[in-house]
Amino acid sequence: MERKYLKLRYTDLLGVLRTLTVKTPRDLSGFRAYFDGSSVFGIASIEDGDLALEPVPETLAAVPWDPSSYSAISRIVTPGGERYSRDPRYVAEKVEEYLAGMGLKAVMGAEVEFFIFKSVKVHVSPVAQHLEILSEESPWNGGIAPPAKTAYHVSEASDAVEPVRKEIVEAVESQGYAVSKEHHEVAAGGQVEITSGPYPPSRLGDFVQTLKLTAKKVASLRGYTAVFLPKPLPTDNGSGMHVHISLWSGERNIFGDRELSDEARHFIAGLIEHGRSLSAIVSPTVNSYKRLVPGYEAPTILAWGPRNRSVAIRVPPPNNYGMRIEYRPPDPTANPYLALAALIMAGLDGIRKKLESPGPITVNAYKIPERELRMNGIKSLPGTLAEALECLESDHEYLKPVFSEELIQLYIDIKREEYRRVAYHPSPAEFSYYAALL
């Protein structure tokens, strides 16, 4: 190996990508680096914190911005080398093993949306709050720019962040990952989308984590700030992480070639059945629920429809590989390993129980009156993280084949504490709206 250092990357329970740098070993086979798992969200307690990292050989890559270093996604193991149950990547690997036991494999892709701002300034204290977002292509900074919700696929003349986006893509690809497309997204202010190639759950999780790190680093080196917050701007579209899913038995797509199969419809029904509890995992932050509101191309109801972007589950037209489904509620703050595994387990529960999916929604769901939704038994997504966590607490048996009860309860506890720390903080918007009136 030519480079001196090896950056071992691993993910904690909340989805934070962490790095331990070691001297590059002569041989990755059997190599382990030890660390304190008790200093990481949801990994270990202080009395039992000794853990180790084992690099996944197929993820070894040269770090594009550091000529002295390689990097590798790593598995978390015990000091004796056994897989560690709280390792999020292990959950994604277990769902692949679970599928293999059924003679199946999952093929998944992710459309990862985020903003590339010129700068973001934040200050929060008990008596003062300040947020200022600057963008080279935003109307609020006084320049000539596309209005809110009009920037989808704008060309180079208006796409100020295209050079940064392309450099991000090239850096991701240089680390061994496939990017199928990239473009400017709907929101003004520098919203972009980078879409993965097809992967199994664990490798798609690797892609998402590598993309987020790469985007933040490349943007920073170019004097920009990459932000994966689902809803950074109140009056423009937020950023999602739409997940495409198909299941295969050998060379056969069991979701169908040109029309949805029965298995696909049962899978959709499973996602609808468990969609409210899934929200705690796929939309896992306080800010996630500021995105999931009507009118901004984010779903608010658990329903499906062909080509319909106003519902939780869109069924795109078939491509050369047949049918697939797109689950639209997730956002890029999700721990991708947990989110992808949870989606598969919810859908498989629908197949196992032969759940019947409701009829498709073929109209703009935002325009359906609330009373009509209730009369037809159509459920809404949770309105807050707290509500989503309550749903997960009462509905998680479907996750059990690959998620341990301990991991689920630990996740709920950590997220509840996060909710209390963030949601209870008064905002300037509340003062602006209420203080003088009430």
Query: Which residues of the chain does CATH 3.10.20.70 include?
Result: 5-84
**Torsion region of 180: left, alpha or beta (phi above 0 gives left; psi -120 to 50 gives alpha):** alpha
Query: Which residues of the chain does CATH 3.30.590.10 include?
Result: 95-422
Q: Are 423 and 286 in contact (CB under 8 A)?
A: yes
Q: Are 156 and 164 in contact (CB under 8 A)?
A: no
What is the tens place of the pLDDT at every residue in 101-128? 999 999 999 999 999 999 999 988 888 8
Q: Are 29 and 17 in contact (CB under 8 A)?
A: no
> Of 184, 242, 244, 324, which is the active-site residue?
242
Q: What is the DSSP string of 116-148?
A: EESEEEEEE-SS-EEEEEE-TT-GGGTS--PPT
Q: Are strands 225-227 and 304-306 parallel, antiparallel or unpaired?
A: unpaired
> Of 328, 331, 349, 396, which is the active-site residue?
328
> Of 54, 96, 159, 193, which is the active-site residue?
193
Return the CATH number of the domain spanning residue range 5-84. Answer: 3.10.20.70
Lowest mean pLDDT among 82-86, 217-221, 381-385: 82-86
Cα-based angle 8, 13, 17 (whole degrees, multiple of 5): 35
Average pLDDT on 56-61 reads 96
**Tell me, what DSSP letter sits at residue 330?**
-
36 is catalytic: yes
222 is catalytic: no
What is the tens place of the pLDDT at every residue in 173-189? 999 999 999 999 999 88
Rounded Cα distance between 292 and 42, Å, is 27
328 is catalytic: yes
What is the tens place of the pLDDT at every residue in 329-366? 999 999 999 999 999 999 999 999 999 988 898 888 88
pLDDT on residue 426: 84
> Of 54, 93, 96, 111, which is the active-site residue?
111
Q: Find how far residue 47's CA is from the centre of its chain.
A: 32
> Of 3, 18, 222, 309, which is the active-site residue?
309
307 is catalytic: no
What is the tens place of the pLDDT at every residue in 30-45? 899 988 888 888 787 7
54 is catalytic: no
> Of 137, 162, 185, 297, which is the active-site residue?
185
What is the tens place of the pLDDT at every residue in 259-308? 999 999 999 999 999 999 999 999 999 999 999 998 888 999 999 999 88
Residues in CB range of 27: below 8 A, 6 or more apart: none
Class of 95-422 per CATH?
A: alpha beta
Residues in CB range of 22: below 8 A, 6 or more apart: 5, 6, 8, 33
What's the Cα-to-Cα distance from 371 to each of 113, 127, 289, 294, 378, rounded to whole Å?
Answer: 33, 42, 22, 16, 10
Model confidence at 436, pLDDT cuts 50, 70, 90, reads: confident
162 is catalytic: no
> Of 66, 173, 182, 326, which is the active-site residue?
326
193 is catalytic: yes
331 is catalytic: no
Q: Which position has the token pair 């590598």?
A: 210
113 is catalytic: yes
C-alpha distance across the termini of the chain, in Å:
68
